[in-house]
Amino acid sequence: MSTPLRKAVIPAAGKGTRLLPLTESFPKEMLSVRGHPMIYYTLREAVLSGVEEVYIVVSRRKGPLWRYLEGEWARDLEGQGGDLPRLELIEQPEPKGSGEALWRVRELVENGPFAWMMPDFVLFGDRPPLVQMLEAFGRYGADVVGLLEITKGRERLFGNVGLVKGEFLSEGVMVIKDLSGKAPGTLPMGGGRVYKAVGRWILSPSIFPLLLQTRGKGEWDDTPALQELCRRQRVLGVLLKGEGFDVGNLAGYRAA
């Protein structure tokens, strides 16, 4: 039986360079997606998933985002069908990477599983990603990542990272054997259909030693640690139902 998922971490201090020029003077997370700020969907997902504590790693230089998270988010999410979580802002003064953002919250989440939620992934459908992933987490008790099936013609809407290989354990649930790192260009489609890890993970504290072990020079990215996690222990991928978008790049943002 798995430990209940009570905490979530959202990194939101990055520069949003993939969305230039839209992010030259405005935070990526506050760009409008179907009438709401991008980060609204991540917070709504946390509410509907029963998360009790949300830690958002953010920079004070993102004034509109900081102000939104200090109060307006709660008004936007009232009456969404769940209790609002306690929200705490963790400052990341310089955008040193998602790995550094995750490392900053380690003492706050090291006692149990937590959700790692990228705000530039949104999914429109009957159930949010984390709600779908919780079923596999509750059944198998392993770390879990959300997957999208990408078909020919949609590869340009996504960043070239996170392609997975594995074997299906049950319908819609895959045991991950390999996770690709960041690469230039568009997603390599191979036979015309691939499975891609998106910015939703349910992680155990075992990720933190791997963060240190895989840290390189320059930007501290989380991808090498997640790759190593998939090599060392059982990680399950859940094929998400719905229409998903990488709204962190111009093509995906415009499509959403």
Delimit the domains of the chain by residue range: 7-255
Q: Is the dihedral of CA 58, 61, 65, 68 positive or negative?
A: positive
Mean residue pLDDT across the chain? 93
Q: How far apart are CA 67 and CA 106, in angstroms?
A: 25
Q: Please report which confidence band the pLDDT of residue 28 belongs to, taking 50, 70 and 90 as the band edges.
A: very high
Instruction: Decide: residue 50, CB within 10 A, 0-12 exposed, 13-18 middle, 19+ buried.
Output: middle
- The per-residue b/e assignment along 151-160, b for 16 or more CB within 10 angstroms, e otherwise, is eeebbebbbb
Alpha-carbon span 45 to 80, nearest angstrom:
10
**pLDDT band for position 227 (cuts 50, 70, 90):** very high
The whole-number pLDDT of residue 64 equals: 96
Whole-number pLDDT of residue 91: 95
Alpha carbons 100 and 219: distance in angstroms, whole number: 8
Answer yes or no: are the C-beta atoms of 39 and 71 closer than 8 Å.
no
| Whether pLDDT at 114 is above 80 | yes
Please tell me the distance from the alpha carbon of residue 25 to that of residue 20, in angstroms, as a whole number: 10
Work out the pLDDT band at 2, boundaries 50, 70, 90: low
0.85 surpassed by pTM = yes
The dotted CATH code for 7-255 is 3.90.550.10
pLDDT top residue among 103 and 80: 103
Which pLDDT score is estimated for 223? 96
> Helix, strand or coil for residue 84?
coil
Average pLDDT over residues 237-241: 98
Q: How far apart are CA 84 and CA 74, in angstroms?
A: 7
pLDDT band of residue 22 (cuts 50, 70, 90) is very high
Q: Are 145 and 115 in contact (CB under 8 A)?
A: no
3-state class (DSSP) for residue 228: helix
Helix axes 129-140, 38-48, angle to 10 degrees: 40
Read off the pLDDT of residues 140-199 as tens digits, 9 standing for 90 and up: 999 999 999 999 889 889 988 899 999 999 999 999 999 999 888 788 887 778 999 999
